[in-house]
Amino acid sequence: MHAWPASEVPALPGQGRDLRIHDTATDGPVTLDPGPVARIYVCGITPYDATHMGHAATYNAFDLVQRVWLDTKRQVHYVQNVTDVDDPLLERATRDGVDWADLAVQETTLFREDMTALRMLPPQHYIGAVEAIPGIVPLVERLRELGAAYDLDGDIYFSVDADPHFGQVSNLDAAAMRALSAERGGDPDRPGKKNPLDPMLWLAAREGEPSWDGGTLGRGRPGWHIECVAIALDHLGMTFDVQGGGSDLAFPHHEMGASHAQVLTGEFPMAKAYVHAGMVGLDGEKMSKSKGNLVFVSALRRDGVDPAAIRLALHSHHYRSDWEWTDQVLQDAVDRLGRWRAAVSRPDGPSADALVDEVREALANDLDAPAALAAVDRWAARQEAEGGTDIGAPGVVSRTVDALLGVAL
């Protein structure tokens, strides 16, 4: 699949900082030391509805990861998937009487437009589950050869007990894993499974559902976790720097994916850091397509909201916190954007040397975007109160905000 166009990232004076980020697996900060090419996999959308503020907040966090790395003069190799066949997509298509493939294309198109408007940097490889099937089948066959997969009435399951490191991404106890498995696409109560947590690798063809030739696996379609593993291993290989997504993906999705990859390759770990963004809610509940309590990026854009203000609203909460989207959050961002634009519209102002360092330091410190906003707020307030004589300082501020926060002033 094609991704979306990249906005330019201005180079900044001085030296960028190495990223320290919270890793779910070790439940602590890690200082990443990627080579000249940093490697990141971020789980993409299941395209059955438009991009809501929760999705946007999660992609915003990983956009910041890229911007911090780019500022250290590294290249970034970024891979993202699109889960363009899965139960929720098929269920929504049936409910609405539309073709599942058309629905996926339509919502993926809208997602690209939203990402472009928000100036999120695109992945170099944007890969759909359907197009990944030829790479998924041999991996499932290999897991079967290794004794790490088994058949159950034609469906094929992964044996979590095949991975000695199983459980080390999310660090949950058995009861919590079982409850989350039932909640998030697993089937712990299906009779005949070796371990209730075992996830599906290949789902045998069902009447009325799309299916593909799976070679020795028979006709069917891929499970969710093996999809991301196949795409990540194909384009990034093992031991890449960051696997990212919202906190609802830590278990089972990232836990299972890590186990698949570790059993397939005999290497550990799949990713050096598992990074998870908090959940954005509305009216006291997690914003989710299944609950329908949504604020869409595209709807705000249609209402004439400046995407730069949406971006500033996303930055106003730390990526790891759970927070609520409210009209006030957006209004505060609109006001801040106005103040910043006024401040950089003059030819001179207070020195911006310290500001570049402050924004760099804030983001390198576990992506502390609220602290970065506070630093720019301070400069803008000084500009408004007393101005300054540093010719070009407003330009430096604009470029800093553009390069590190993805906001065009």
Contact residues: ligand 5CA, CB under 6 A = 43-46, 54-55, 57-58, 81, 83, 228, 245-246, 248-249, 277, 279-280, 286-288
CA 7/CA 194 separation, integer angstroms: 49
Nearest distance in Å: CB 398, ligand 5CA: 29
Per rule CB under 5 A, count of chain residues that contact Zn ion: 2
307 binds, among ligand 5CA, Zn ion, none (CB under 5 to 8 A by kind): none
Residue 46 interacting partner from Zn ion, ligand 5CA, none (CB closer than 5 to 8 Å by kind): ligand 5CA
Binding partner selected for residue 280 from ligand 5CA, Zn ion, none, CB under the kind-specific 5 to 8 Å limit: ligand 5CA
Q: In angstroms, rounded to a whole number, what is the distance separating the alpha carbons of residues 129 and 385? A: 54
228 binding Zn ion? (CB under 5 A): yes
Helices (H), 118-218: 129-145, 174-183
User: How does strand 280-282 pair with strand 323-324?
Assistant: parallel
Smallest gap from residue 55 Cβ to ligand 5CA (A): 4
The option from Zn ion, ligand 5CA, none interacting with 90 (CB < 5 to 8 A, set by class) reads none
Q: CA nearest 329: which of 302, 308, 303, 309?
A: 309
All residues at 6 or more sequence positions from 297 whose CB lies less than 8 Å from its CB, including other chains: 50, 51, 52, 53, 55, 56, 114, 117, 118, 307, 310
**Residue 162 to residue 57: CA distance in whole angstroms:** 35
Bridge-based pairing state of the strands 155-158 and 200-204: antiparallel
CB nearer to Zn ion: give 43 or 133.
Answer: 43
Stretch that binds Zn ion, among 60-68, 86-94, 228-236, 348-356 (CB under 5 A): 228-236
Rounding to the nearest 10 degrees, give the CA dihedral for residues 371, 374, 379, 383: 170
DSSP E strands: which ranges in 247-365? 271-277, 280-282, 285-286, 323-324, 348-349
- In the bound state with ligand 5CA, the residue whose beta carbon lies nearer, of 73 and 291, is 291
Residues 293 and 326: beta-carbon distance below 8 Å: no
* Helix pair 100-117, 87-96: axis angle to 10 deg: 110
CB of 59 to Zn ion, least distance (A): 13
Burial of 145 by CB count in 10 Å (0-12 exposed, 13-18 middle, 19+ buried)?
Answer: exposed
Cβ burial of 142 (10 Å; 0-12, 13-18, 19+) is middle
Subset of residues 40 to 99 that bind Zn ion, contact rule: CB under 5 A: 43
Least distance to Zn ion, CB of residue 89, Å: 14
Q: Phi and psi of 388, rounded to 5°?
A: 180, 170
Q: With binding defined as CB under 5 A, does residue 256 bind Zn ion?
A: no
Positions 12 through 51 that interact with Zn ion (CB under 5 A): 43
Give the residue with the Cβ less far from Zn ion, 107 or 402. Answer: 107
User: Minimum distance between the CB of residue 55 and Zn ion, rounded to whole angstroms?
Assistant: 13
- Least separation, in Å, of the C-beta of 247 and Zn ion? 13
CB of 121 to ligand 5CA, least distance (A): 16
- 279 interacts with, out of ligand 5CA, Zn ion, none, CB within 5 to 8 A per kind: ligand 5CA
Judged by CB, which is closer to ligand 5CA: 69, or 111?
A: 111
Of 52 and 272, the one with the shorter C-beta distance to ligand 5CA is 52
Kind and range of the H or E element at 382? helix 369-386
Neighbours of 169 (CB within 10 A): 28
Report if residue 204 touches Zn ion, rule: CB under 5 A: no
- Which residue has the closest beta carbon to Zn ion? 43
Minimum gap (Å) between residue 107 Cβ and ligand 5CA? 9
> Please, what is the minimum distance in Å from the beta carbon of residue 181 to ligand 5CA?
15
The entry of ligand 5CA, Zn ion, none near residue 220 (CB within 5 to 8 angstroms by kind) is: none
Q: How far is CA 261 from CA 132, 136, 168, 231, 269, in A?
A: 16, 12, 13, 11, 9
